[in-house]
Amino acid sequence: MSLRVKTYCVDNVQEGLQQIKKELGPDAIILQSRKVRKKGLLGLFAPPMIEITAAVDGSDNSHAKQKDFATEMRWQNEIGKLKQMMQQMFMLQQKQTLVEQGPYFPYWQQLVMQGVEEKLAQTILAEIEKEFGDGEPVKDEVMKLLLQKKIEQKILTEKLPADARILAFTGPTGVGKTTTLAKLAAHFALYQKKKVGMITIDTFRIGAVEQLRTYADITGIPIEVAMTPKDITRAMERLADRDLILVDTAGRSANNSLQVMELSSFLAQLPRAEIFLVLSVTTKTSDLYLIVDKFRQTGYNRLIFTKLDETSSYGAILNAISATGMPVTYLTTGQNVPDDLEEADAVKMAELILKG
Ligand SMILES: Nc1nc2c(ncn2[C@@H]2O[C@H](COP(=O)(O)OP(=O)(O)O)[C@@H](O)[C@H]2O)c(=O)[nH]1
Ligand SMILES: [Mg+2]
């Protein structure tokens, strides 16, 4: 009796079993199956293949031609069982690799050290494992590349639409709203030669106007102050000739729900505004989650991250994007007006998050 052994490399188990059945006949048995990668660099980015080794008693090969219904049924049954087993193995393996001391643990630790929230770090690695893992530890250089790509994917960025006319800045006190607004005002007025106007919403009469007024005096950019929501409409009329209107907001403790509600009633008066939530990367993750929730009612549709120069852990960026689903438009990197401002770039931000 001679044994015929053959190895098949296929995309999925079903395809493999069909081939085996066709070539070796219904009596073939599976000796081994495992996930493998395609050869070459491109293989890294392709889904893993399945290698199945099957054998049949070669002396009795004529069976292959007999289409016996009972055997057919038995095969169908086996296929079903095998598929189920492989699925279970895959799921188990995915869980196991992520627990402590698994091959992905150092990367999970690295992300968490960079301020990426634990669950989010786990999701990122689970996705990489699902897409590229084959049960064996991925080489460090390859893993770094995969992490970079995965994080780039998760960092939403979006430039301002060309026809954006009204930009409003909300966020907690002290994050850098007024400074960022001043940087952008200079940027648009000087570099893009736009006619810029400013409105400052001073709901709480805390003199937040002064900072911006001083700046307006130096640059000659007109400024309007709104003490009530109605003032907004009047200010808009006065700034009717402006190409771009930047709206500053202030509060005593901007985390206060009532104040955010009042602020929202001001912002609601603005026609078609781009509303930025300004966040500092130095903010604690737990506070960050509270802030993005509290400010939700302002209707913000974009994010700005400030104070990138003050930390070397940038996970907060990823946390906030994933919590809000909103894209980042600008980053600020210092106190200098107007220079310390950049357009958000996903590649660069992913690098920052990974390297610190
Ligand atoms: N290091 C650093 N400081 C910043 C940045 N942006 C703003 N600031 C400083 O943060 C402080 C608060 O800024 P301000 O614009 O008044 O914050 P607001 O209360 O949100 O309007 C000021 O001292 C700013 O100079 C930045 O990107 N990096
Ligand atoms: Mg301010």
Q: pLDDT tens for residues 212-233?
A: 888 888 889 999 999 889 999 9
C-alpha 174 to ligand 1 mean position (Å): 6
pLDDT computed for residue 351 by the predictor: 97
Phi and psi at residue 125, to the nearest 5°: -70, -35
pLDDT-based confidence at 6, cuts 50/70/90?
confident
Ligand nearest to the CA of 208: 2
Look up residue 296 and give its DSSP letter.
G
C-alpha 161 to ligand 2 mean position (Å): 25
Nearest ligand 1 atom to the CA of 334 is 28
Tell me the pLDDT of the chain averaged across its residues. Answer: 86
pTM of the model: 0.73
**Whole-number Å distance between alpha carbons of 330 and 161:** 13
Higher pLDDT, 241 or 96: 241
Ligand nearest to the CA of 341: 1
C-alpha 169 to ligand 1 mean position (Å): 13
pLDDT computed for residue 181 by the predictor: 97
**Whole-number Å distance between alpha carbons of 311 and 236:** 38
Ligand 1 pocket, mutate which of 169, 170, 178, 179 (most atoms under 8 A from CB): 179
* 174 touches ligand 1 (CB under 6 Å): yes
Residue 90 has pLDDT above 80, yes or no: no
3-state secondary structure of 50: strand
DSSP track, 51-71? EEEEEEEGGGGGGGG---HHH
Is the CB of residue 328 less than 8 Å from the CB of residue 157? yes
User: Homologous superfamily of 166-355 in CATH?
Assistant: P-loop containing nucleotide triphosphate hydrolases (3.40.50.300)
Residue 354 has pLDDT above 90, yes or no: yes
- The two tokens of residue 106 are 């150092």
> Mean pLDDT over residues 297-302, rounded?
96
**Whole-number Å distance between alpha carbons of 51 and 36:** 6
Residue 60 has pLDDT above 70, yes or no: no
Q: Mind spelling out the 3-state secondary structure of 70-100?
A: HHHHHHHHHHHHHHHHHHHHHHHHHHHHHCC
- pLDDT above 90 as % of the chain: 53
Per-residue pLDDT of 98-119, as tens digits, reads 555 578 888 998 999 999 999 9
- The two tokens of residue 158 are 């979006």
- The two tokens of residue 7 are 């190895």
Ligand nearest to the CA of 283: 1
**Whole-number Å distance between alpha carbons of 315 and 277:** 17
Residue 341 has pLDDT above 90, yes or no: yes
**Whole-number Å distance between alpha carbons of 173 and 241:** 31
Phi and psi at residue 297, to the nearest 5°: -70, -10
Per-residue pLDDT of 161-177, as tens digits, reads 999 999 999 999 999 99
Beta carbons within 8 Å of 286's beta carbon, 6+ residues apart:
none
Look at the chain and count its residues.
356
pLDDT-based confidence at 139, cuts 50/70/90?
confident
- The two tokens of residue 18 are 């069909």
Nearest ligand 1 atom to the CA of 179 is 15
pLDDT computed for residue 43 by the predictor: 53
pLDDT-based confidence at 61, cuts 50/70/90?
very low
Of residues 48, 52, 68, the one with CA closest to residue 132: 48
Per-residue pLDDT of 266-276, as tens digits, reads 999 999 999 99
* 176 touches ligand 1 (CB under 6 Å): yes
C-alpha 260 to ligand 1 mean position (Å): 20
C-alpha 296 to ligand 1 mean position (Å): 22
* 249 touches ligand 1 (CB under 6 Å): no
C-alpha 181 to ligand 1 mean position (Å): 10
